[in-house]
Amino acid sequence: MKPQGQRSERPLRVLILTKLFPNAVNKHGAAFNRQQFVALSRLCDVQILGIIPWFPGARLFSHQSEAGRWCSVPARECIDGLDVHHPRAFFFPRFGHAANPMTFALSLLPAVWPLRKKVDVILGSWAYPDGVAAILLGRWLKLPVVVKVHGSDLNCLPDRDSIRRVLSRSLPRADRLVAVSRALAAKAREFGVAADRIACVPNGVDRSLFHPGDRTEARRELELPDGRLLLFVGRMEASKGVLDLLQAFENIAPRSRELRLAMVGDGTEMPRYREAQSRWPGRIFLPGAQPLARVARWITACDVLTLPSWNEGSPNVVLEAMASGRRVVATRVGGIPDLLDSSFAGEMVSAHRPDELAEALWRAAHAAYDPLMIAAAGPMDWRESASLLQQALLSARDGSPLPRELRVDWGE
């Protein structure tokens, strides 16, 4: 007979709520969550609700709104072997920010209620409104809740006073909060989350894709010319520093005809780069958003990866570049200093400083370095990252202290 109070050996049952997950329309989105949750599914019994934000008439705004573009996402699909359900969650576009977590939670309740006895812990990935909605559902269903935060959800969204008030009131009620970097963990404390509830779980990389490779071979595969290649991977939005990067490139491009720039991604600033292509024929490449395996080939082909963002959490593309043995030039924001903690791995510059960025890119593009040394100091893989996340989830379920390897050294 099993001793009283001892838990069975069945796997931890985790219900994940997030809009940060790929779907049939946004196939390449949130690759970090997809990879970590696939790895987590090998350790736990995972169910995923890939939330589709919705409002009446959303389809009419498909050219302006993510909600409109996602209207055609099916109710259920299989992604990397995971059975993903896509419930629609009502929200108020532009207005009603304080109400959106409640409308999300009420919209998700019909999908979550039947699972209440089949789940040990709820994981809400992205603070607002997903994480706050998860906290509400956990309270209603009497289930522990873990909120995972990524960067902009604590660094940018709270610029709206209404969202800041919601997060300050709600996040301290989470049983555990998982941050991807120490900087983001410190930000969580500003919202009143108790220090002993905050776990730091770094993202990982897929080392079967991201590892040192032959630059010449990758360029031949991508039909790229020889020379010095600077690479950006991500959303082409102003907050990612892409206009600073364009100015920086145009500052140094006249110095060498061999210097080129590739932008792997898409976004609102793409037209600016298409204009720049006409000024620099054969010098700027715009392949658009790419699947992860193709991103790996672009990183192998480059001399330097750059990420001049104005704010960040723990950007996976930096980890992927390091695992691939490529140097990085990035801004000194968010969790990036934790990643680029050695000079041989890359160089950090100030945000909003195209002149500083230009000189750092020029130096990095022409510096000799050992790719194997950079890769050896690189990040953990997704299996290790998922194992740490599992420990945070178990701590929430059991009400036990966080394991030492998850705790943040606050230096107090």
Task: Please name the fold of domain 215-376.
Answer: Rossmann fold (3.40.50)
Residue 248 pLDDT: 98
pLDDT of residue 3: 42
Alpha carbons 39 and 339: distance in angstroms, whole number:
22
**Comparing 13-204+383-406 with 215-376, is the CATH topology the same?**
yes
pTM, whole model, 2 decimals? 0.87
pLDDT at site 412 = 60
If one counts every other C-beta atom within 10 angstroms of the C-beta of residue 71, the result is: 16
Length reported for the chain: 412
User: Which ranges of the chain have pLDDT less than 70?
Assistant: 1-8, 62, 64, 412
pLDDT of residue 102: 96
For 13-204+383-406, the fitting CATH number among 3.40.50.2000, 2.60.120.20, 3.20.20.70, 3.40.50.150 is 3.40.50.2000
CA–CA dist 93, 210 (Å, integer): 38
d(CA 29, CA 247): 27
ω into residue 129 within 30 of 0, thus cis?
A: yes
Q: Judge whether 328 and 306 are in contact, CB under 8 Å.
A: yes
Q: How far is residue 277's CA from residue 121's CA, in Å, rounded to a whole number?
A: 50
Structure token pair of residue 215: 């630059």
- Please identify which residue in the block is written with the tokens 């890359």: 346
Report the candidate in 151, 159, 105 with the shortest Cα–Cα distance to residue 132.
Answer: 105
Residues 234 and 152: beta-carbon distance below 8 Å: no
For residue 271, the model assigns a pLDDT of 96
Domain ranges of the chain: 13-204+383-406, 215-376
- Rounded to whole angstroms, the Cα distance separating 341 from 139 reads 40
Cβ pair 173, 259 in contact under 8 A: no
Strands (E), 107-144: 121-125
SS3 340: coil
Compute and round to an integer the Cα radius of gyration of the chain.
22
